Structure 1
Amino acid sequence: MNEELRDRVDERTPSDAGGDADVVIVGGGPAGLSAALSLGRARRRVVVIDSAEPRNRTAAHMHGVLGHDGLSPLVLLERGRAEAAGYGVRFLREAVRSASVEADGLIEVQTAAGMIRTRRLLVATGLEDALPDIPGFQEQWGRGVVVCPYCDGWEHRDDVVGIVATSPQSVHQAQLLRQWSHRVVYFENVVGEASEVELERLERRGIRVVTGPVSALRIEDGDLTGVEVGGNAVDVGVVFTGPTMRPRDELLRALGAATTESELGSWVDVDADGRTSVPGVWAVGNVVNVRANVSVSLGLGSLMAGALNADLVADDIARLAPATLVE
């Protein structure tokens, strides 16, 4: 670690195990910060490297998070950083360029500011949502266009709720949202054509089906007001959709982490404690778990921190000189 970076990291607790940190966490979202908080309280040397681009940064509020319902997700992260910093956790606002596992077992993490050597690496970089290439979607993302019924369904109860299909599985999303509103419009958008059986079920539950490609969202004074299909606009109060979820796992893949193919794509493998196939490298949150919302990520971060600390304790013990045997 160069001198400038050493000053920023501020090695709080020297370690006989070596390195500049016990754990480097890449990603400062709910999962990464939750892990950092627990590890800091365990008196571990923790550095969080974060480029400050959380997945839910466009949302004004988050819901369904016990004790924080309606809070801004950015406020949650601000509070989390302050809490973790109170236990000696250090933060770097950087992007990680690369990482490598060295012969001595330490992991070298390279940033623009320099290199950090750490005993363990926890990747919590989340995922990104690839939206349909339809005018208005990007501008309305997190406001008029959303994805999770449990996060935003209550706020749009009894509204005219539109579902713009991104695949045949979007039919299920329409049926699910019928729980929140009796005025649901399913836009097949060509890619989400319903079968005869599905059409009958949609009709029986009073869900309107609109065929044809969606050409744009109608936006008036910055607010979503409708969905345009075939030159006509259908009034809606909100659009739910299913973006393609792409894990930000480039760092893990570059390290050689094993992956598994699923219907949602290729994802890095982790065990129940968050270990990847790469020695000393762990992962948590959306980067390896598509279902990890804020609440789940907070819990998993705490869980993985306990497993990580136990792993470090075992390493601390293994590094001790063996006791002399007495006959």
Structure 2
Amino acid sequence: MPSFSAYDMAIVGASNAGLSAALVLGRARRRVLVLDGGPSRNAPAFHSHSFFTRDGAPPQGLLRIGREQLQPYNVEVVAAEARRVKTTAEGFALTLSKGEVVTAPALLLATGVTDVLPGISGLKELWGRGVYHCPYCHGWETRHSRVAVYGRGEAGYHLAVLLQQWSPTLQLCTDGPAGLTPGQLAHLNSLGVAIREARVKAFDGTAKCLRAIIFSDGSRLPVDAVFMRPAQRQRTDLATQLGCALTSDGVYVQVDETGLTSVPNVYAVGDMTGPLQQVIHAAASGARAAAALNNELILRSCVSAA
């Protein structure tokens, strides 16, 4: 563990949003600490998509390039998890997993979210490798495949309608009563979406290949891909420790257009701020917040000098 000293700001999270912010701040001649708390949310996926000039790149390959491009700048990336945070007269104090304390006048959170997956056998092993969250990330690759949507009610209906753009023939598996309105049922029927209400017992496949959905009645639905929208929660409670306001659903951290939270000098970026979750959006939010933070610090120093 390095010997920590003063930093202009600390970034908690070393995935796409955090590293993007670090690049902008490093190039602004800031001394930056980036705390890497562990694998990124998209680590299980084989490829990242819709990232301009890097479509199809492995997620870990993107992060490797991102770290390499930080080397010319005064940015320090440390493998350490921030466990606690509090405000101080000088800014913020972060307590790390081994008890070290890091201080900085500004804080940028890029800690992401955790997908709360249903307790279905095989789902965890196939998440990101046959069972997916985002059609914009994986829809093109499944356009000629056997595709199913897992979900019920409003969420299941909207995801099935959305997937029609990529997979004209698909089934909606609701794992129990569908919870659809007559209008939604009629619309799905007009689109040719079959609905199966049988309880789902398991997802069958290997760590690299989904083969079928197995239902509690013993029947099987051969599939190559399943799309679903699981519930999510914040990966860490650092934002709530600081008193940052959450969105109305209580899931995401509320930010303005620059990424500033309800707590002064605390910015939040990436997946933790909303359901629009793609690699390129995360990177863009990190860059935008970093520029806003740097500008704020410059203007503050001008006021102090005056």
Give the structure-1-normalised TM-score. 0.88
Q: 1:270 aligns with which of 221, 232, 255?
A: 255
Q: Secondary structure at the match of 1:180?
A: coil
Larger Cα-atom Rg: 1
Contact 2:8 2:106 in 1 (8 A): yes
- Evaluate the alpha carbon distance shift between residue 141 and residue 221 of structure 1 in structure 2; reply closer, same or farther with a 3 A threshold: closer
Query: Can you give the 5+ residue segments of structure 2 that lack an aligned partner in the other structure?
Result: none
Q: Which amino acid aligns with 1:274?
A: G
Report what 2:12 is aligned to: 26
Report what 1:184 is aligned to: 170
- Evaluate the alpha carbon distance shift between residue 113 and residue 249 of structure 1 in structure 2; reply closer, same or farther with a 3 A threshold: closer
Report what 1:15 is aligned to: none
Q: Please say if 1:318 is aligned against 2:303.
A: yes
Q: 2:120 aligns with which of 134, 138, 147?
A: 134
Contact 1:188 1:194 in 2 (8 A): no
Contact 1:50 1:92 in 2 (8 A): yes
* Shift, 1:114, TM fit: 1.4
Q: Secondary structure at the match of 1:48?
A: strand
Greater CA deviation, 151-160 or 216-225?
216-225
* Shift, 1:86, TM fit: 2.0
Q: 2:43 aligns with which of 57, 66, 69?
A: 57
Report what 2:214 is aligned to: 228
| Mapping for residues 111-126 of structure 1, pairs under 5 Å | 111=96, 112=98, 114-126=100-112
Report what 1:14 is aligned to: none
How far apart are the structure 2 equivalents of 1:77 and 1:32? 10
Q: Which amino acid aligns with 2:241?
A: A
Per-residue CA distance 1:116-167 (angstroms, 9 max, x = gap)? 1111000010111111111111010111111111111111112110111155
Report what 1:110 is aligned to: 95
Contact 2:130 2:209 in 1 (8 A): yes
Query: Can you give the 5+ residue segments of structure 1 that lack an aligned partner in the other structure?
Result: 12-19, 323-327
How far apart are the structure 2 equivalents of 1:291 and 1:191? 28
Q: Please say if 1:92 is aligned against 2:78.
A: yes
Task: Give the number of aligned pairs.
Answer: 304
User: Among the aligned pairs, what percent are the same residue?
Assistant: 35
Per-residue CA distance 1:248-283 (angstroms, 9 max, x = gap)? 250010111122322xx4332212221122222111
How far apart are the structure 2 equivalents of 1:177 and 1:222? 22
- Evaluate the alpha carbon distance shift between residue 192 and residue 21 of structure 1 in structure 2; reply closer, same or farther with a 3 A threshold: farther
How far apart are the structure 1 equivalents of 2:7 and 2:290? 15
Report what 2:293 is aligned to: 308
| Mapping for residues 204-283 of structure 1, pairs under 5 Å | 204-219=190-205, 223-229=209-215, 230-262=217-249, 265-283=250-268
